[in-house]
């Protein structure tokens, strides 16, 4: 079922009482007009109530707000991260040396602070256009990538252009101590695009095709994520490299929907100071996916026609692959899906 949806509430109509005069039928006597009883309720018109579902989470909302994308550190040195619990969508991207880094998308909820904020990668510039022109927070990039950032479909609110929005967190060491005030980030991008349809659908799970799973593991060359189903929370608890992925706000990170999107990943023209190449993750085109929700794993297909368009997910039979309402994690992986 594609959201938003309309819930129509029918109210009772008025009852009309007819007089009984020398006949047993409820029809009025010949030549007589029906008389309404004085105590009959007045007729109430049909009413409609629209329940709007957020395009990123499927949850109710009042107003669509600007989109903020933040590049966040994802190694042990940068944990625990701050603000991820409030994200609508979290992307896991492969970076140099087979490690991973996150890009968190905020719109429906905005944490006061977020971080550690780290440098941008070329794959980011291919993901963000589907959100229109969001505000993009990051802490630097390779020199030869700066012209591409300037031309990208985003508002640059990085630490170089907007230094007043960033601060160093006491108790952490550089470069893993750079955090940002989210309101200051958005203040620097007053025309940032508001949340819109990016292809996600939310609602009931497919009637068929789900395989019960207690956990599902996704591997990159130097990183491993495991998602374990919590019946109590009705969410997938997130583990990284065999350890609980904890939030700086407290508690283990979790989400009701995990999407493992298998993509083509290849070398880009960029590399780090150690000459490790920067992967380019191709998020346009089509491919296979695994969608984890409600304690089950579903085989799915994904398609994104262009960078300006959203990503749609369908079942193997071609029906929309609905997500469970709430936060969505998208793991951009390169290995093929396996469901025993």
DSSP β-ladder status, 135-137 and 155-156: parallel
pLDDT > 80? residue 264: yes
**Among 58, 59, 20, 95, residue whose Cα is nearest residue 321:** 58
Cα separation of 49 and 268, whole Å? 50
Res 258: pLDDT: 98
Mean pLDDT of 30-37: 41
Confidence check: pLDDT of 286 > 90: yes
Phi first, then psi, for residue 11 (nearest 5°) are -100, 155
The Cα–Cα gap between 135 and 245 comes to: 26
CA-to-CA dists, residue 322 to 128, 136, 210, 227, 292, angstroms = 22, 28, 12, 19, 11
Q: Is the pLDDT of residue 169 over 90?
A: yes
Question: Bigger pLDDT: 20 or 253?
Answer: 253
pLDDT at residue 142 in the model: 84
What is the residue whose two structure tokens read 């492969």?
94
Six-digit token string for 13: 């109509």
Token pair for residue 317? 């039979």
Give the pTM: 0.83
Termini Cα distance of the chain = 28
At the fourth CATH level, which superfamily is domain 68-333? Answer: YerB-like (3.50.90.10)
pLDDT digits (tens, 9 = 90+) for 303-316: 999 999 999 999 99
The domain segmentation of the chain, as residue ranges, is 68-333
Q: 218-244: per-residue pLDDT in tens?
A: 999 999 999 999 999 999 999 999 999
């Amino acid at each position: 079922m594609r959201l938003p949806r309309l819930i129509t509430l029918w109210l009772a109509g008025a009852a009309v009482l007819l007089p009984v005069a020398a006949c047993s039928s409820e029809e009025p006597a010949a030549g007589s007009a029906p008389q309404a009883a004085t105590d009959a309720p007045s007729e109430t018109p049909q009413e409609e109530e629209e329940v709007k579902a957020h395009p990123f989470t499927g949850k109710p909302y009042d107003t669509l707000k600007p989109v903020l994308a933040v590049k966040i550190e994802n190694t042990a040195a940068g944990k625990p991260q701050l603000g991820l619990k409030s994200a609508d969508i979290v992307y896991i991207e492969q970076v140099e040396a087979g490690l991973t880094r996150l890009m968190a998308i905020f719109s429906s909820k905005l944490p006061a602070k977020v971080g550690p904020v780290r440098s941008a990668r070329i794959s980011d510039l291919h993901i963000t256009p589907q959100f229109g022109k969001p505000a993009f927070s990051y802490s630097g990039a390779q020199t030869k990538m700066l012209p591409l950032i300037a031309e990208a479909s985003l508002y640059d609110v990085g630490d170089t252009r907007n230094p007043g929005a960033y601060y160093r967190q006491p108790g952490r060491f550089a470069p893993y101590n750079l955090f940002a005030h989210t309101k200051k980030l958005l203040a620097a991008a007053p025309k940032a695009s508001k949340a819109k349809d990016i292809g996600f659908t939310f609602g009931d799970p497919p009637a068929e095709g789900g395989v019960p799973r207690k956990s599902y593991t996704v591997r990159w060359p130097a990183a491993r994520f495991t998602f374990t189903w919590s019946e109590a929370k009705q969410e997938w608890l997130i583990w990284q490299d065999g350890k609980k992925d904890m939030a700086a706000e407290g508690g283990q990170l979790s989400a009701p929907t995990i999407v493992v999107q298998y993509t083509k990943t290849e070398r880009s023209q960029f590399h780090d100071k150690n000459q490790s190449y920067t992967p380019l993750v191709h998020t346009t085109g089509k491919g296979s996916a695994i969608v984890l929700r409600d304690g089950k794993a579903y085989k799915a297909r994904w398609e994104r026609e262009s960078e300006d368009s959203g990503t749609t997910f369908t079942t193997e039979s071609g029906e929309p692959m609905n997500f469970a309402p709430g936060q969505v994690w998208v793991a951009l992986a390169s290995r093929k899906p396996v469901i025993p």
